[in-house]
Structure 1
Amino acid sequence: MSYFGAGFFFIIKMSSLCPFSKAASAGDKCPRKIEVNGARDKEKNDDKVKQEGNESITLSPKCPFGYDSHTFKLGPLSCLICQALLFESSKCMPCSHKYCKACIERFKDCPLCGADIEKIEPDPDLQLLVDRFIEGHARIKRSQVGTDPKEVGDEHKNVIYEDVSLERGAFLVQHAMRAFRAQNIESAKSRLSICAEDIREQLNQFGNTSEFCSQLGAVLGMLGDCCRAMGDAGSAISCYEESVEFLSKLRIEDLEVVHTLSVSLNKIGDLKYYDGDLKSARSYYSRSLDVRRDAVSKHPSSSAQAIDIAVSLAKVADVDRGLGNEAAAIDGFQEAIKFLESITLNSNESGLEQRRSSVLDFLHSQIAEPVSAPQSTFV
């Protein structure tokens, strides 16, 4: 989710971190890792379960729709183009192959069979099936307390779901990320909204636990990315601000939480910057810088966080330049350069070295050739 977001560094990128990985038990795995190693784990876990106090082995239940909890494969409920759950299910005519509406509208020929697409029709029955699948999957049913045994008829029975499982949240985030990468933003936003609603229900029931606050903070940040990609700056700021609110409830010791919090602050600053409110932008950039400085003071060996500090220094300096304070801008750029040059990277951190070099090149250019307009050559 990290990116440079001042006037000169603008790119939207959804987080690759699973906000649910921290809440997993020792036997749980982040779906990002499961997707890679699923074949190995599936062989061990799919065919049997151990029951306490009982040596018998029973077969694990299988989802009739083809959902596999270890590989996140959905069979007929997924879109071939974005590889995520179908959203606004539509079929090509005359071949009748089915995709998300936003995905297939980009094509003139069916991606599966190559037939000319004469028209695209909605498939409400299939979408209803997908929606029912999302609503019911991975939730735990329990009996309603105090139900009158004399009551008969389905119309009198209230189905109550207890804990929304970790698997459900991770599943929704996984498919939201797939849809976002494929530019199916409405789909990503829909899945993340469901996930956020689930977490809010848990917060109402169990209070502001660190797990739920971190999860909701991350999901709200992703929702902000969706709103931003759709051009809805106001809603994006609201999501980012709420993300900051929940993440700020936590003790800032986890580097992933620090990263998510600082990025949400930066993204608010980005939007304020492009709206011309430079003073507000500087305030948010400075808050992000403070969070990152504090993290590095507690985790001095984190090279990624150290580079993030230089990025924040550059953001603040860029705004200072926009506000007409050239001396402060030059000081900020120079401080960022010194900070980057003081970092020692290991040989296995080639990605960070490339990032550091790119940032250094930009910073040197800002000192060598001061400009009054935002730059957008670096992403």
Structure 2
Amino acid sequence: MTTWSAQNLVSNLSVGILVVDESLKVCFANAAAESFFEQSCNQLQGQPLNKILLYSSLETARLQKAIRYRDSFSDGEVQLTFADGRHSLAEITATSIEKEGNSYLLLEIKQIDNLKRISQENQQWAQQQAARDLVRGLAHEIKNPLGGLRGAAQLLEKELADDELREYTGLIIEQSDRLRNLVDRLLGPNQPPRFRWHNLHKVLEKIRTLLSLDDIADIELYRDYDPSIPEVWIDDEKIQQAVLNIARNAVQALKGKGRIDFITRIERQVTIHGKRYPLCARIRIIDNGPGIPEQLKDTLFYPMTTGNQDGTGLGLSIAQTLIDHHRGKIEVDSWPGHTEFTIYLPIDKKEPA
């Protein structure tokens, strides 16, 4: 019979195994954990978790409590930010163990970034389509009686001789127009895109110029462009509007102080709504603000969703619609001190059909 070495088995697991002591210092890491943290076991040993990780949504107190009370728990979605700036999403199971009278915590770490992203993208896509269908239906039901209401007010206004009474009909007409404009904005852009070959960086430079003309106080704007990105088949005005909506949200979140980065790169083999594209332009808009509130993350692109008291909640919904018109997609990653919107746009060698 073959004799199995427990350490060899643990070392060959695809799940990262990390063992920490009562002070949450690393005592052991298998090969998968070394790969996850991008450090060898020797480098990890003796390091406290709060030095390896810049941020974790799994609180230190919960880990210490599990060791103290010999408890076990699982967390299916832990946001981790490493000291070198990388970030990841992981499923973590913590199990209390004992060795030679000392208590330890065994952490099983399974990276779920890709699975979560694909699942989230499919779910958001379905929800956004449902939300748009609902908005279209409501818009139709609102605009028809609204038109009748406005027309009746206009006819009544002609029959009234009293200027004071005509003020009321004028108010009805004015508010009817305001509601109609709101409904039109909810429906999103109604003009079809006018596609041309454009230099993406010229579009982004226009956005930086527009932002710098706004009152952005002490907010710094940085750019890091990839000059190898070829011209892309886009409607430059609509891409400008989409990116500007995202950037202005970042400005509002920073409240007058911080940094916004515009970064472009080429991404290969990108799947967008089930279709594989060999080449895409990737635009990242990053700010170092407080992050997106947890209660808004799942409905961020829905119409009328906003964390800003003075906001309409239409900026991101419109941005999503505009990017959809370009066969692209928007992804979001956010935690305290970092919010990143990533736009993917297919790069074509010829005009797409």
Measured against the shorter chain, the TM-score band is under 0.3
TM-score w.r.t. length of structure 2: 0.24
Structure number with higher helix proportion:
1
Structure with larger RCO (C-alpha < 8 A, sep 6+): 1
TM-score w.r.t. length of structure 1: 0.23
Max Rg structure? 2
